[in-house]
A and B are shown apart, each in its own frame.
Chain A
Amino acid sequence: MAPPTPSSHRPRKKRKVAISPGSNNNLILDLGEGKQSPAFPLVSFLWAARAGVSQWLILPLVLMAVGLFRWAVSLWGYSGFQVPPMHGDFEAQRHWMEITTHLPLAKWYIYDLQYWGLDYPPLTAYHSWLLGKIGSTFDPTWFALDASRGFEDPHLKVYMRATVVVSEYFVFIPAVVNFLRRYTRMQGVHAWSASIALVAVLLQPANILIDHGHFQYNTVMLGLVVASLDAILAGRMLWACIFFVGALGFKQMALYYAPVMFAYLLGVCTFPRINIPRLVSIALITLATFALLLAPLMVGASNLEARKAFASSPVPPLLQALPIQMDKNSVTYGLLFQLMQIIHRVFPFARGLFEDKVANAWCAVHTFYKLTRFEATLLQRASLGATLASIIVPCAIIFRHPRASLLLPALSAVSWGFFLFSFQVHEKSVLLPLLPMTLLLAGNGGLSKETRAWVGWANMLGSWTMYPLLKRDELRVPYIVMTLLWAYVLGLPPTSFETYRSRPSPEDSSTHFEPSTLTTLLHFGFYLAMIAWHIVEAFVAPPPGKPDLWVVLNALIGAGGFGIAYLWCTWKLYTQCRQISRQATEEESQKKKQ
């Protein structure tokens, strides 16, 4: 693409904020003699847009381009393809469409739990129902009850892949576009930088590989979280609650973000002065949204047939633990049964501390010091304690300084804390801390070398820890292509070392936007380790007796890196908070002088 000829283009009106494109972000390198060049390839691709091309043109083009990459990844394998008898996540999602379209609501959470019983919250169930209904109009055999288990038709694959893309384009993409627009305006970032950040966020390799490769609907949950953040920026706290409850109701994993949202909303009601009506309305709207979310399932559980179905299935442990005795034929019993069953299914406390090899603290400790010697309850308590310890600082900061601009680093820090120390973590959960961290690219100085280096590094590391999973799904080629593409467009190793090279810049403020020597060494160490690991994994067989050695090594390196990412996010939160409060006091003192 090329810029317009200067004569043919005249901006319609002057912008309110007089900032040159690329200010604060070092997007344009000055080569001297009036020559300019883009700082990294993504800037180059949007080079022509810097002269203020309409968003009505840029946005559709960007969305089409990133959509093409998503669809191309989806041509590859998915989780559980041709792996009977249980298959994988693709089959789980298909199976939920099958049971929700064919069974009454009362049976959704109790039907044949051994074969991919529904264990996601209600919004996922409704989503599956809708997709199952639409899919059945194309071909009812895709979702025939029981008969369709393990069905693997190419047309079914196309349909399922299309549902992921459509869900993403209905939820995640509008949320991210709106959020970035508001966030960049708030941070005083030029629209051109915002477009660049948008492309970077939408090309996040981990999201694309898991949702469109492995097969899941994470972007719906993430999109609802981003919509909630957007509502906060817009000052619509109640909408923020509704969207966030929606995210929780779609995937319980959104709980990683819950402490920050809670602390923020509580902080907003407490500082600068206590605002009781606001607190009450937030509490009420949250409860009402939860009630609305559960309402269809509750109505479905209130009839006689539902109670018959409940009578023939095992009583959920939570209900057994209740101290009261109830008549098994009463409506209340049916409702309680349904509620307890959903909670029991959604939060599987009976499972172990961690699953498979995941790059968090427990798995890392376990490698050297077997944790199985301890009782499960002790481990659960230890996990709870460690998680709380890791999130207490960011939560306290966001509670005391409930500023919208601090939300992103706080969310990243807290979700890194959860990922590292909490219970039952999947390798895919790394998407949660990566999202707010990647959104930092849109902030003030977000595309500067320093932030870009850290965010890019965390994304590379996150995708890398998922490699063993992606390898099982035959997604090696998309993994290589998407991660290298991300590194290339953002000018990161292994494709370019430009980010870590310091250059004399015309903008004198840029010095502290460059990565320090320590950062450079740290990142290079990790990049080297990742490359070396890939080489070893590909060409050297693990020693006999330790078949999982390479996977364990991957998890160990990953856990170390994520720990550093946690510290960086917390540090970022702390420094930004300091900066904001310093600015605030300066402004106040100036006012006093006047």
Chain B
Amino acid sequence: MADLYPSLAQCAIVATAFKVLLFPAYKSTDFEVHRNWLAITHSLPIQEWYYEKSSEWTLDYPPFFAVFEWLMSQAAAYVDPAMLVVKNIGYDSWQTVYFQRATVILTELVLVYALSRFVKSVPLPNKQAAHVASLSILLSPGLLIIDHIHFQYNGFMYGILVLSIVLARKQSTLLYSGILFAVLLCMKHIYLYLALAYFVYLLRTYCLSLKSVFRPRFGNIFKLGFCVVGVFAVAFGPFAQWGQLLQLKDRLFPFSRGLCHAYWAPNIWAMYSFADRVLIFGKWCLPLTAHTTYELLTISVVAPRLGLPVNTDALNSVTRGLVGDTSFAVLPEVTKEHTFILTFLFQLVPLIKVWFNPGCWDTFVGALTLCGYASFLFGWHVHEKAILLIIIPFSLIALKDRRYFSAFRPLAVAGHVSLFPLLFTAAEFPLKTIYTVLWLVLFLFVFDRIAPVPERPRIFLFDRLSLLYLTVSIPLVIYCSLGHQLIFGWDRLEFLPLMFMSSYCALGVVGSWVGFMVVYFTA
């Protein structure tokens, strides 16, 4: 009998104590975003929810999330009614802070419940690994940084996602899994990135006979179709009735944003941008060896005068830290269509395996992870926070055997380190670094001990590279957080550490993606 200590509840209690202590920590504009949504949903009729724009942080989540905000606002009215006034932009009394922070902690209980269901659903020999994996998700530095400091409700939503994944395990609960995922989509549309995997899995495993593709199960098709359409009808029906669907579309999918987010999420496009910078450097500046780095980067001023065809706007655009169009100076531009096609293609590839392995839950979770990878790596305007879309499904299967774990390891490092720039204040620096290092040391050590030996032999070169990769992270983080300022001062070349960081992390994420693809298709 495996000892499951410390239990999920014990960890949740101690983690809660820590999270309560973080109440006065730095909070991003997302805090004000959610306060504003509380105010909008509480004080305006539903017809105006998606039209209100007193604040620049307009409601841009799907209707169920708005309803969730409305529910919370009922309690908020007893705490501090002033936070529910739409005109009180930037309001943050201590009652507001305590209330909003407390709702994040309380709604995270959904995740605790989902994880306990996950541990229960696993057969006895693998229970211990499942327990460790769920502890790693519960204590994830990603959730701590994004939810409890930066401020969002990811713990709650990933709780729903995990619950839905767990329900997908058994044929008898597949329907509920589908419904839950539909509800999740109506709360936050980022999960559309995973929708294709759900669609294929449910179609093959629930709607068609497991034995033959040509034997549809009409009862199941009807049940699932009715429920999913019902969920969407409840969410969007009223707005369709009022003729607001186009407005909703504009709010939910603001395509005016650029390819890369202000700070580049560590994906293919970050590497592409980095390559672009290097090429600028190489094409025009390398012969002038006497120049210092600083002078080299002022080339944007010099080059045009010499008649060189440099896209000057492009040279500085990525360094500015504003949400806007990114353009490239040397490499060809990337359009939305390119990113869509690439994302779609790389999502389709793993789904082939799901189609040919009906009812295989591990394959499904692997496909979910790979869909997360594809959309994170190739998507348009990806946020660094979306890394959780990969890490959390992957954690559920990372302990399947050592090959899975060795693909997970660089992701765990790169994914969490890439979140560091979210918190840039001095007081939070020790929190994010020490917590992440603690988590990495603890869980990578424990994972390493309990991950079973795989049936097939592994390629061992991969391990060496990943060890090298882990080691590089230490000097890099030190350079980016301290060294750079000591060498260049506070305001010179401030984009340089961010660029190094995202390129480094992109390398890790891409590396782990390639590694996992190999594992997934050879397993």
Contacts and interface: CB of A to CB of B under 8 A. Distances in A.
Interface of A: 1-5, 8-9, 34-38, 41, 44-45, 47-48, 57, 60-61, 64-65, 67-69, 71-73, 75-76, 154-155, 157-158, 161-162, 477-478, 481-482, 484-485, 488-489
Interface stretch (B299-307, B360-368, B444-452): B444-452
Nearest to B132: A2
Given A5-B449, A68-B18, A477 B438 contact: no
A481 B21 contact: yes
A67 B434 contact: yes
A77 B441 CA distance: 31
B132 A489 contact: no
B470 interface: no
B441 A61 contact: yes
Given A72-B431, A158-B426, 18 more contacts: A3-B3, A5-B450, A9-B449, A37-B5, A44-B5, A44-B10, A47-B5, A48-B5, A64-B438, A65-B438, A67-B434, A69-B21, A71-B430, A75-B21, A75-B22, A161-B427, A477-B20, A477-B23
A61 B442 contact: yes
Nearest to B13: A488
Given A48-B446, A61-B441, A481 B20 contact: yes
B128 interface: yes
Main secondary structure of the interface of B (DSSP, over half): helix
B6 to A, nearest CB: 4
Q: Which interface residue of B17, B437, B445 has the most chain A CB atoms within 10 A?
A: B17
Interface of B: 1-7, 10, 13-14, 17-18, 20-25, 128, 131-132, 135, 426-427, 430-431, 434-435, 437-438, 441-442, 445-446, 449-450
Contacts of B442: 1, 61
Contact of B5 (A38, A69, A75): A38
19 contacts: A2-B132, A2-B450, A3-B3, A35-B1, A41-B6, A41-B13, A41-B14, A45-B5, A45-B14, A47-B3, A48-B446, A61-B442, A67-B434, A68-B434, A76-B21, A477-B21, A481-B20, A485-B14, A488-B13
A1 B18 contact: no
A2 B22 CA distance: 27
B64 to A, nearest CB: 32
Contacts of B435: 68
Q: Which interface residue of B437, B441, B442 has the most chain A CB atoms within 10 A?
A: B442
B446 A1 contact: yes
A57 B7 CA distance: 21
A33 to B, nearest CB: 9
Nearest 6 A-B pairs (CB), nearest first?
A72-B21, A47-B5, A64-B438, A44-B6, A44-B5, A485-B17
A155 B430 CA distance: 14
A73 B14 contact: no
A71 B431 contact: yes
Given A45-B10, A48-B446, A72 B22 contact: yes
A477 B135 CA distance: 26
A3 B445 CA distance: 11
Given A1-B446, A75-B22, A489-B14, A68 B6 contact: no
A69 B10 contact: no
Contact of A47 (B6, B132, B441): B6
Nearest to A73: B21
A188 B438 CA distance: 30
Nearest to B128: A2
Contacts of B446: 1-2, 48
Nearest to A37: B5
Nearest to A72: B21
Contacts of B23: 477
A3 B132 CA distance: 10
A481 B18 CA distance: 8
B327 to A, nearest CB: 36
B234 to A, nearest CB: 39
B3 A68 contact: no
A181 B445 CA distance: 24
B24 A75 contact: yes
Contact of B135 (A1, A34, A61): A1
Contacts of B25: 72, 75
A76 B438 contact: no
Contacts of A162: 430
Contacts of B22: 72, 75
A75 to B, nearest CB: 5
Nearest to B2: A2
Contact of A60 (B6, B7, B441): B441
B427 A64 contact: no
B131 to A, nearest CB: 6
B342 to A, nearest CB: 39
Nearest to B449: A4
B441 A68 contact: no
A8 B430 CA distance: 35
A428 B24 CA distance: 25
A360 B217 CA distance: 80
A316 B308 CA distance: 79
A158 B428 CA distance: 9
B17 A481 contact: yes
A8 B438 CA distance: 24
A44 B7 contact: yes
B72 to A, nearest CB: 21
A72 B24 CA distance: 9
B403 to A, nearest CB: 17
Contact of A41 (B2, B10, B18, B426): B10
Given A57-B445, A72-B431, A75-B427, A1 B6 contact: yes
Contacts of A44: 5-7, 10
A31 to B, nearest CB: 11
A68 B5 contact: no
B242 to A, nearest CB: 44
A38 B10 CA distance: 12
A48 B4 CA distance: 9
Contacts of A75: 21-22, 24-25, 427
Contact of B21 (A1, A155, A157, A478): A478
A268 B2 CA distance: 51
Given A4-B449, A72-B22, A155 B426 contact: yes
Contacts of A45: 5-6, 10, 14
Contacts of A36: 3
A200 B200 CA distance: 52
Given A68-B434, A69-B18, A158 B450 contact: no
A484 B437 CA distance: 26
Nearest to A162: B430
A201 B449 CA distance: 29
A3 B7 CA distance: 13
A136 to B, nearest CB: 16
Nearest to A64: B438
Contacts of B3: 2-3, 36, 47
Q: Which interface residue of B1, B7, B14, B132 has the most chain A CB atoms within 10 A?
A: B14
Contacts of B441: 57, 60-61, 64
Contacts of A73: 21
A484 B17 CA distance: 9
Nearest to A53: B445
B15 to A, nearest CB: 11
Given A1-B446, A2-B2, A8-B449, A64 B434 contact: yes
Nearest to B441: A61
A478 B132 CA distance: 29
A39 to B, nearest CB: 11
B112 to A, nearest CB: 16
Nearest to A76: B24
A154 B427 contact: yes
Contacts of A154: 426-427
Contacts of B132: 1-2
Contacts of A161: 427
Contacts of A48: 5, 446
A71 B434 CA distance: 10
A48 B132 CA distance: 11
